[in-house]
Amino acid sequence: MPISNLRVLSAILASSFALPSFASTLSVGPGKTYAAPCAAIARAAAGDTIEIAGGMTYSGDVCAIGKNNLTIRGVNGRARIDAAGANAQGKGTWVVIGNNVVIENVEMFGAKVPDQNGAALRLEGTNFTLRGSFIHDNENGILAGANTASNILIETTDFGHNGNGTGYTHNVYIGNVASLTFRANYSHDANGGHDLKSRAILNTIVYNRFSSTPDGQTGTTASGKPSYEIDLPNAGTSYVIGNVIEQPAGSANQTMLAYGEEGVTNPGQDLYVVNNTFLNDDTSGGTFVMPGSGVTKPVLLQNNIFAGIGTMSSQSGSLDRTNYRSIAPGFVNRIAYDLHPIASALIVDAGSAPGLSASGFALAPTAQYVHAASSETRTVSGSIDIGAYEAVAAVTTTPTVTWTTCASENGVCRFSGTTQVRYGANNAYVTKTATGSIACNNATFGDPAPNVVKSCQYAR
């Protein structure tokens, strides 16, 4: 047999008897195989899952994540990772070098490095997913380098009070990657920088809340003074759909959504701003949407609420379709961020069908933000409402249901089993399903009958 054929046969036999590869699950925490996450990360093989016991803080546990296809998640509670003065490679807490890494259910804070550009998550690999996490009080929450082969998904995560105050560090910074999908997140109180900055070629920013607490107040983090709420400095095909975008009174910049202001270097320059609720709490004014001077394609603005004082768009040729402008639109509870519109012929069923983008992307929202860092299906009855939310339908009594009063406003309605409970007055009610008891107040139900004393009733 020729030598070349012998070599081929040897290769086939070697592959036939190779041992199969199986992914493993590595356990981290008290009494587990590994005491801290980075020890497990160092031992993991490509494709493994690392499960970190939640409800605990792992201090100073910093490292590079070099293997591909890892899943790292907190279990039985959220795993807390405190950089505690340490850093990996001078870059941050976890430096993600591997490809296709997924991180879930972690809390990360305290990332600081000598050059003041540290990040809880420094992304250097190709493709990355983060979900269900809390990233706060770092110099950067996420810092992703340029990689035009990389697709990044970030969803159901709370980003708060990241940034070192210089304006050059942010809650989330994404370099020139192939795509960013930013979905159902709560990004707020950036410390001097942006709530979200992305140079991605394709941006899909949907069903998020961008906001900040008033000066001196504390929510999930301390209050902050962000610059832009959303910054897309190099343009790119960008969908901004179904978001709550609020500028606080103490903002460091009066622009809320900036697009292409650093130069239109991405191949696309089409921006679709559809069914968002913009809130400008800066009474001195501002700009809701600011396309840069190099953006020549008209920006689509459709079905948005623009609340407060300010210029809707700095681009004179922007397409203005069925948007609603008001200093103070009627919301169920503006202070509590229940931004479902109250009955108004100017908002309810007043939107227009957004159709498809130039590339065939469906522009109509299919979900709406739920606090904190979640979303729910958006159900449209009739024509779509303007803004990020459909109106809450009032429910009236029908002959087949007997309603029994169970609590006055701000009381607690108690009953047996699971049933429908309605809250309101004068035939204007909001109904929820509850088991055993439910708080009878605006925070739970919204306010279906403003300036009227309300009560709760359960169905039987």
Residue the block writes with tokens 């696309």:
268
Q: Quick check: 153 and 185 in contact, CB under 8 A?
A: no
- Is 60 exceeded by the pLDDT of residue 145? yes
Nearest to 143 by CA among 203, 131, 156, 130: 130
Instruction: Output DSSP code: residue 357.
Output: -
Amino acid at 437: S
Q: How far apart are CA 188 and CA 229, in angstroms?
A: 8
- Which pair of tokens denotes residue 385? 């409402």
Helix (H, G, I), strand (E, B) or coil at 53: strand
Task: Give per-residue pLDDT as tens, 104-132.
Answer: 999 999 999 999 999 999 999 999 999 99
Between residues 216 and 395, which one has the greater pLDDT?
Answer: 216
The total domain count for the chain is 2
At residue 7 the predicted structure's pLDDT band, cuts being 50, 70 and 90, is very low
170 in a structural domain: yes
Q: For position 336, which CATH number holds?
A: 2.160.20
- Is 70 exceeded by the pLDDT of residue 4? no
- The count of other CB atoms within 10 Å of the CB of residue 29 is 22
Task: Give per-residue pLDDT as tens, 256-315.
Answer: 999 999 999 999 999 999 999 999 999 889 999 999 999 999 999 999 999 999 999 999
Bridge-based pairing of strands 338-341 and 331-333 is antiparallel
Residues 254 and 336 in one domain: yes
Mean pLDDT of 359-382: 96
Residue 400 has a pLDDT of: 54
Q: What is the largest CA-CA distance in the chain?
A: 96
Percent of the chain with pLDDT over 90: 77
386 in a structural domain: no
Task: Share the mean pLDDT of the chain.
Answer: 91
Residues 117 and 190 in one domain: yes
- Which pair of tokens denotes residue 354? 């957004």
Residues 239 and 121 in one domain: yes
Residues 288 and 417 in one domain: no
199 in a structural domain: yes
- Which pair of tokens denotes residue 177? 């990657």
Contacts of 167 by beta carbon, 8 Å cutoff, 6+ apart: 192, 193, 227, 252
| Boundary of a domain, candidates 377, 394, 425 | 377
Residues 355 and 444 in one domain: no
Residue 12 has a pLDDT of: 41
Q: Report the chain's C-alpha Rg in angstroms.
A: 25
Residues 155 and 222 in one domain: yes
Residue the block writes with tokens 């140079």:
199
- Which pair of tokens denotes residue 180? 């960013």
Residues 329 and 431 in one domain: no
* CA end-to-end span of the chain: 87
116 in a structural domain: yes
Residue the block writes with tokens 């519109």:
341
Residues 333 and 424 in one domain: no
Residue the block writes with tokens 């929450």:
141
Helix (H), strand (E) at residue 137: none
394 in a structural domain: no
Q: How far apart are CA 223 and CA 211, in angstroms?
A: 10
- Which pair of tokens denotes residue 101? 């890494």
Contacts of 222 by beta carbon, 8 Å cutoff, 6+ apart: 137, 161, 189, 213
Task: Give per-residue pLDDT as tens, 34-68.
Answer: 999 999 999 999 999 999 999 999 999 999 999 99
Residue the block writes with tokens 């910049």:
253
Q: How far apart are CA 323 and CA 275, in angstroms?
A: 9
Residues 346 and 451 in one domain: no
Residue 257 CA neighbour count, 13 Å, CB half: 30
Amino acid at 317: G
Mean pLDDT of 353-360: 97
397 in a structural domain: no
Residues 86 and 182 in one domain: yes
- Domain of 255 in residue numbering reads as 25-377
Residue 17 has a pLDDT of: 40
Mean pLDDT of 354-367: 97
At residue 11 the predicted structure's pLDDT band, cuts being 50, 70 and 90, is very low
| Boundary of a domain, candidates 377, 392, 415 | 377
387 in a structural domain: no
Q: How far apart are CA 94 and CA 441, in angstroms?
A: 43
Residue the block writes with tokens 């009955």:
343
Residues 293 and 431 in one domain: no
Q: How far apart are CA 330 and CA 355, in angstroms?
A: 27
384 in a structural domain: no
Residue 150 has a pLDDT of: 98
Task: Give per-residue pLDDT as tens, 172-203.
Answer: 999 999 999 999 999 999 999 999 999 999 99
Q: How far apart are CA 409 and CA 454, in angstroms?
A: 5
| Boundary of a domain, candidates 361, 377, 393 | 377
Residues 286 and 417 in one domain: no
Residue 2 has a pLDDT of: 44
